[in-house]
Amino acid sequence: MDSSASWTLTPLHPKTYTPWIALDPTLPWTHPKNRPYPYFKYARPIQITVNAGQALYLPSMWYHHVRMNPSSSLSSMNDSVIAVNWWFDMEFGDRWAWSILGKSIDKSNEDLSNDLKKKEQLNEENDENEL
């Protein structure tokens, strides 16, 4: 790689956003950073190696984590590694709808559970005040 090369990144117009998941798969599922994602404890990693000239296809909506390991063959290039993500399979069909439905049901159950806990606490406080 030529060390004098330069790159220019230009934002899209109009701006587009990809939802970000702050989960860190290098940490245990019990770590505070991963607690907002309780289903992560059921994840089972699949580790693969993609070599120079190869590509990896991931189906739409698959969570993935990439770790770069510069090999000795890259040492002459100052351990440079470039990864390119290209989302071309954006027609999710019904998978997107099912994903959103599942997330909304999960959120509704969480909200209902929190409401019930608050109601129980109020009932306990009222019972204590009556004594």
Taking the C-alpha atoms of residue 28 and residue 35, their distance in angstroms, rounded to an integer, is: 10
- Residue 32: what pLDDT? 92
Same domain, yes or no: 99 and 84: no
Same domain, yes or no: 84 and 99: no
Per-residue pLDDT of 90-107, as tens digits, reads 566 677 777 777 778 877
Please report where in the chains the tokens 């330069």 appear, as a residue. Answer: 6
- Residue 55: what pLDDT? 82
Question: For 9-28, what is the mean pLDDT?
Answer: 78
Same domain, yes or no: 16 and 73: yes
Same domain, yes or no: 85 and 120: no
Same domain, yes or no: 72 and 113: no
**Residue 4 predicted with pLDDT over 60:** yes
**Residue 85 predicted with pLDDT over 80:** no
Same domain, yes or no: 59 and 6: yes
Closest CA to 69 of 47, 89, 85: 47
The CA–CA distances, whole Å, from 26 to 6, 37, 46, 54, 123 equal 32, 14, 13, 24, 43
Please report where in the chains the tokens 């770790």 appear, as a residue. Answer: 67
- Output phi, psi for 75, to 5 deg: -55, -35
Same domain, yes or no: 63 and 118: no
Is residue 74 exposed (0-12), middle (13-18) or buried (19+ Cβ within 10 Å)?
middle
Same domain, yes or no: 32 and 79: yes
Same domain, yes or no: 71 and 116: no
The answer to whether 43 touches 26, Cβ cutoff 8 Å, is no
Same domain, yes or no: 10 and 63: yes
pTM for this predicted structure: 0.42
Same domain, yes or no: 87 and 108: no
Same domain, yes or no: 84 and 114: no
**Residue 49 predicted with pLDDT over 80:** yes
Q: How many domains does the chain have?
A: 2
DSSP character for 41?
G
Domain span at residue 116 reads 92-131
Taking the C-alpha atoms of residue 59 and residue 90, their distance in angstroms, rounded to an integer, is: 10
